[in-house]
Amino acid sequence: MKIYRVGGAVRDKLLNYPCFENDWVVVGSSPEEMIKLGYQPVGNDFPVFINAETGEEYALARTERKSGVGYQSFTFHTAPNISLEDDLIRRDLTINAIAEDEDGHIIDPYGGREDLSQKVLRHVSNAFVEDPLRVLRVARFAARYHHLGFTVAPETQTLMKSIVNSGELTHLAVERVWKETDRALCEQSPDLFIQTLRDCGALAALLPEVNNLFGVAQRADYHPEIDTGIHTLMALQQAAILSDKPAIRFAVLVHDLGKGITPDHILPSHSGHEARGLPLVKAVCDRLKAPNEHRQLAMTVTEFHLLCHKARGLQPDTLLSLLKTVGALKSSTKLEDFLTCCTADAKGRTGFENRDYPSTPYLRAATKALQGIDISDIVNSGISGAEIGEQLALRQTDILQQLKDNYQL
């Protein structure tokens, strides 16, 4: 029995890139021997075992054959005579088909180190097309390593397009689509995930609402980049700079979906796109089963990002309503997440990247001023019921009017 470290841990070690997980392949063993040695089996689908001491996964070397549609439709075969090379050839990319033995020697039968050197994401074999999930995985790796100069090999792009054209993406479980999307949005260049999917046609199949933004014109005075899809990618770049929260990055990705269905006769204006976008954002969240945190922030940002941009000019009652709606008076986290998304939107425009976003300090100041209101005298005055709220609202709007009249950056 021989044990090899494989996949991402070896790849990232060779790249000198941070990695926090190990995957292992066991050659020359059997399920019975693994259990006898104290490894705990995981499920019944294929032979993966957990090391009780480390919690890491050890998989028996295996071959696989496609037996249906989708990423789960494979028949696996394990036996002590299956070689490491047999196991590695079933993997998606050459850079993920590298192994390391217990002495630190590298086993690289499919040119992974050369592709690391050349900064190329290349499929191992034509069996790549059998698993539609690999389209999303390659796009995620493009987002992960773009800043290092990695690109997708043209021949791999061709295979990705063939997967899209086969219709197999429709058979992917939404949970897996969401998992890959959420992970990709957390990478260093999440915009490259979207761009890579678009290049092979997968964006139209998986996120048609986002795909529909490309080629839609905007007013050049507000958006020198013109194209709404390009703006979305630029805003996503800014979101990645500003925050590593996946909910923020997702909200920025979908905040302008309403512009994709703006009536032609009002273009390049997009008046009302916030309201038009809400059903689309809800549809995306429903389809992908997005977590509530993502959904709530995305809906809030979609509806109120333009109002946030205009914060300095808002009347006190409108500003108070905005702060209440985004949850600013109850949660500083909700306020900051909302402001981060709106900042990314404002900066995600050609020539706007380094501009200040004055709405952020203004809304923070407004929130702080409102939190400083003492309502004890209202309560102690004998007023009760709805009148307490009415008196509080009067004080709040008065405070906000004073802020509007006297505010200085």
pLDDT tens, residue by residue, 288-320: 999 999 999 999 999 999 999 999 999 999 999
> pLDDT tens across 312-359, in order?
999 999 999 999 999 999 999 999 999 999 999 999 999 999 999 999
- For residues 121 and 399, give the distance between their C-alpha atoms in angstroms, rounded to a whole number: 57
Q: Helices (H) and strands (E) in the chain — how many of each?
A: 19, 11
Write b or e for each residue in 349-384: b if 16 or more Cβ atoms lie within 10 A of its Cβ, otherwise e.
beebeeeebebbebbeebbeebeeeeeeebeeeeee
Does residue 74 carry a pLDDT above 70? no
Query: Do 108 and 162 fall into the same domain?
Result: no
Query: Do 214 and 299 fall into the same domain?
Result: yes
Q: What is the pLDDT of residue 86?
A: 92
Query: Do 186 and 292 fall into the same domain?
Result: no
pLDDT more than 90, % of the chain = 81
DSSP string, 104-120: S-EE-TT-HHHHHHHTE
Q: What is the pLDDT of residue 386?
A: 79
- For residues 79 and 101, give the distance between their C-alpha atoms in angstroms, rounded to a whole number: 20
Classify the C-alpha dihedral 141-6-71-289 as positive or negative.
negative
Query: Do 214 and 351 fall into the same domain?
Result: yes
CB of 242 closer than 8 Å to CB of 292 = no
Query: Do 11 and 99 fall into the same domain?
Result: yes
Query: Do 184 and 144 fall into the same domain?
Result: yes
CATH classification of the domain holding 259: 1.10.3210
Query: Do 323 and 335 fall into the same domain?
Result: yes
Q: What is the domain count for the chain?
A: 4
Query: Do 393 and 292 fall into the same domain?
Result: no
The H-assigned helical ranges of 201-331 are 202-206, 208-211, 228-242, 246-254, 273-288, 292-309, 316-325
Three-class SS of residue 57?
strand
- Ranges of beta strands (E only) in 140-215 are 151-152
Query: Do 306 and 355 fall into the same domain?
Result: yes
Q: What is the extent of the structural domain holding 399?
A: 373-406
Query: Do 64 and 150 fall into the same domain?
Result: no
Query: Position 321: which residue type?
Result: S
Average pLDDT over residues 98-104: 95
Query: Do 150 and 83 fall into the same domain?
Result: no
Kind of pairing, strands 23-27 and 57-60? parallel
> pLDDT tens across 186-229, in order?
999 999 999 999 999 999 999 999 999 999 999 999 999 999 99
Average pLDDT over residues 92-108: 96
Query: Do 272 and 319 fall into the same domain?
Result: yes
What mean pLDDT, rounded, does the chain reach? Answer: 93
